[in-house]
Structure 1
Amino acid sequence: MSVSHDVPAAQAGSWSTPTALPCRQHPGRTEQIEQSHQRCAALGLTRVERPDFEPLMRSDLSVARERNHRLFTHAAPVMEMLFEQIVNTESMIVLADAQGTILHSVGDDRFLERAGKVALSPGVNWAEHSKGTNAIGTALFQESPTVVHGGEHFIHANSFLTCSAAPLFDPRGNMLGVLDVTGDHRAYHQHTMGLVRMSARMIENQWLSDDFGNRLRLHFHSRAEFIGTLLEGIIVVGADGKILGANRSAIDQLDMSSAALRMHSLTSLFGTSVSAIFDHFRSPLPAPACLSLASGRQFFVNARFNGPRAVMAGMDVGAPASPGALAGGSAAIGATPNPAAGSAASNGAFSGLRYLRTGDPQIDAVVQKVQRVLNRDIPLLILGETGTGKELLARAVHQDSNRAKQPFVAVNCASIPESLIEAELFGYEDGAFTGARRKGACGRIVQANGGTLFLDEIGDMPLSLQARLLRVLQERCVTPLGSQKSISVDIAVIGATHRNLREMIEAGTFREDLYYRLNGLVVRLPALRERSDLDIVAQRILLSECPQATPAIAPGVAALFGRYAWPGNIRQLANVLRTAVVMAAGETHITEHHLSDDFLEDARRLRAPVAAVPAPSFAAPESPALAFSPETAPAFGTPPAAAIAAPEPAAAPDAGAPRTLEEAEIEMIRAAVAAAQGNISVASKRLGISRNTIYRKLRWGKPA
């Protein structure tokens, strides 16, 4: 097939007025395209250039991907969600780095083949100096969203394309790369650019949250209803009030560059201070603040502060060491939900509990039990050894519940000093004890109002506090230390412990009435040595650590893993594999040489019981697109947009299933295809793999 038949030949080196877009022109866009053509001509490019089919060497591409691993981790789930919006439209989604080299692409199979004929594929550079005027390269040069339609491409061979690209920036304004949607120019829709820009903002916002998860963030918009959407501006504020970074929407709304914004402080920008923000948002359910620029323009503002070890105003609130430090945490506005996760849960697009399933019957049984009591106001008590994923299950329950848009507040009862845990949980009034922050502080229970309170290691709570907690759960109100006033709260409570609470009750160290208040439903998470999905869990960890060139686990190591007792459970497995990935950099298999000596010594000493599950077979996953976030994937739930969707329970392997992972994988694919009545597209969506992978695994030829 000729890819340039849509555009007549032209004189080499010439350029002409670009063809018009079938949509409203952006002011100055034609001039920008003409300027790009002039740059290309000055570089010596000709309009009849043949496509360059010499991408980076595989090793060089691996280096480029490794260098941009963080960009890929944030972008891959968004690309998958974006692809769902444009599937079957003769198009593809492309991620390129700041130099214009394509790192990753997903798209319709037929169009990926067409794009490959002009070298629009991973490893190829699409900067202007290499491919002339095109959305990726021109967006990089202009540092702004760009559409290049049909004959506007400088090189005629690319004229069958229409490309919509948006650059990606970090919170300090540094270029990260480009997100692009490319399709057949005859099927272009004017909404495509909007989808690309929204997707780019999602990636940038995730990057900002990752960079500044332990800082005060102000979320604002001139219309209060837009706070919490992709249109909101976000600025990050240091303890001294200095602006540290901002997202693209903030820069647009404030009408200043990232560098100019970072010259400001809260005082110079909004005429306020960090302490004033703290004071406003100290109350349990504060209304948005109203702040004004020097020009008089007003914005509604919410303050958020996430992070397990948060430092605000120079005070560590993750593990407070003094009443004063604890007080510093009281202004941290509590835990706030992830808006994206909340909306996903509420509209049923993704299920946190569903993605905990990895084929193990015990995990499936736990998930099924929990799903039956979801939103029934029944307390949940999770039992299990340390490292089995108790908090992950609690977060999945919260995400699937109708409280998903409200806070999830986790309190580790074993990590907070006994002298501080009462103030941490219940809060305190001004002057309640020496060293406390003036004006007092609300506690974690009040912070969880409307959402979920997760009490981890509840068995380590001091006996004296258990009575107060029981009263809160019964009366649904909290009285802070030193106060005479009660605060009403609406919370779902999830408890977790590795201890035997019944034995503690007999020993008099745990209240029996509190136990029965917490155990509406009791579920036990199995230890890793008791699970049958060690291979799948290990693969997901490897994918999260090394999504591009995921190494396989050598048979000898697989056998060693299968015999090992895993006293630290999944947390220990993740640490072992994380080290092994670093040691095996550039190699295709993880062998015993890549394992730490202390683990090998333990592995030879600590064997699993004879009745344990046989050693699994490990293999490297096929698709580099299946990336998992270490923060949400272990044990293991996958990030919704980038997950391998686990089969429904009926499709899970039974005792007579094939022993090798490849055979089990093929059986799962066949079951999915059968369930989809032979529709490969539907099956690929359900499995989270490409149609090409299905054809290859089942040894089918693709339809003509």
Structure 2
Amino acid sequence: MTQRSVTPSVMGRADALAQAHARSREFGLRASEAPDFHPLQPFALRDLVELNRSLYAHALPVMETLHAQIVDTESMVLLTDSNGVILHSLGDSDFVEKASRVALCAGVSWSEAHRGTNAIGTALAEGEPTVVHGGEHFLEANRILTCSCAPIADPYGRTIGALDVSGDPRGFHKHTLALVRMSAQIIENQLFANQFGNAVRVRFHARSEFIGTLFEGLAAFGANGTLLAANRSALFQFGRPLDALLAQPFEALFGTAFPAALQQASRAPGECLTLMLPSGVRVLARAEYAARPAFSADARPQHTAAPVPPAPASCKPRAAAITFATLDTGDARMAAVLGRVEKVRGRDIPLLVLGKTGTGKEWLARAMHEESPRRDAPFVAVNCASLPDTLIEAELFGYEDGAFTGARKRGNVGKIVQADGGTLFLDEIGDMPLAQQVRLMRVLQERSVVPLGGTRAVPVDVRVVCATHRNLRAMIEAGTFREDLYYRINGLVVTLPALAERTDLPVLVERILGRLRLVEPDSDRMPARVSLEVLDCFARCRWPGNLRQLANVLRTAGIMAEGAAEIGLDHLPDDFLHDCEPPRDTPLHALPATDPPLAARPANMEELQATLIEQTLARNNGNISAAARELGLARNTVYRYMRMRTTH
């Protein structure tokens, strides 16, 4: 959290409460009415928890610690999503019954629109830690509570939930809000560390005793030394918002060249560096990274004693490992796939990934490998469709020296043995010849492989992930795919959506460009964004090649646009435009917001919200992330609305 004073001025707090009560009246609430609450159905609550799985997983242990600090005070700890819907609660048994009478339970929304002025809804509306005590609640029914709540932000400063302590007003303590704020900051810092585990992380503060505490600044940098994100304490120390700092070079923020700082940190691990903020304030800092990022030889400092050997000048930094967070870009169908796959990570359950060519099946397999206990072992990918029938057996199972003419000396262990201890990804498994399907089935059953020309079985321990764009059940009926192999590889089956069906195109473009800028030669000359006209063009594309086509288009356009501020229409490949619908008279991003005709206007607030969401989704061509930003809502709200509309 930013280093604000814990308690606002009396006048400021009174004004904030008055504004919250005014909003409550605008929502059509009456103070005397009995609140009508309908918790989410269990399946809907599970879906909501799944959409917030990272927040949920990081918050639970913190909630338990917080509850231990307030135990026996007739109170409970609550976690909500960004819309104020309670995801989880921990409470004293003697208070839970009282709480249930006012709907203080999982699956119930405590937004101001539903519950009037209350700590959860008001903290989320104001974006500030909030206390609402007894009679300060708008609804009289809620005045049996005193509540202290702090919003929780993701590493990019977006509010993703809230942490709250609610209890009996007679047990109110002025220090409760401070505990809640510190607990929320612990969650934020853990989310930050998880998001940027492979980046260079800098912990800093003007006072050395604050490094390693909740008050330290945290900043994450990519392998090229540009800022990826910063926590609230870091933003407070920089004195600037995150939007103004993103992609800023390390040297501009800390007054020292990035390679020099890394070298100094590597020579004295754990010791503090002295750095200079743009404001002129000196801070002490520790740099941490999982593996030393490569940097070009011409960027390294000169005349430095015992330097860390730099990467060759021709070597580009490796793109960050693909994780579930990398693939979670705001599309509801993709989020559901990731949620299902995440449940079986680390377990010996085969995964079968279905989807059209280019939808990112290998990316999902790599993410599952990276998120599993096998992450330090090999990830070996084999495209069964790209290997001739005469070679696939030798490539997969290996061969002994002299097994056939033209084989390399000393033989070849094969892809399956190469993947021992790790993950074997068999792409386009539907194109594997029947004879090799028999051998693969035997390997999966016996956990061993016999190379061609050999007699000794080699034990193997591999996690198998298969993928195909074919209909394997139809192939079984046609006799071109073995039924026993099918049931061996489909422990969990997921289907990836085609790119044209996804709602997260702008985020995908941003992520793919970011990865390209890490690995392409002269990447510092490649634009970091595309123009609105290009986004509009992308939204009209059929994308027959899916994500693979998008990545290739962006790579080519990025090279054509080197030195430009952004990728424009003139940088796109000519043949790409053949896959796009003709342009509209008015670009999607320029369509004005229009009111519905008077006769069609909604009769109540729920219908008004539904109409606004529908109009905004249409205006943004179905892009949920863009619509949510325009409406000022969280994506989860729009997702939930869409699910509600499809079930009615």
TM-score interval, normalised by the smaller of the two chains: 0.3 to 0.5
Q: TM-score, normalised by structure 1?
A: 0.42
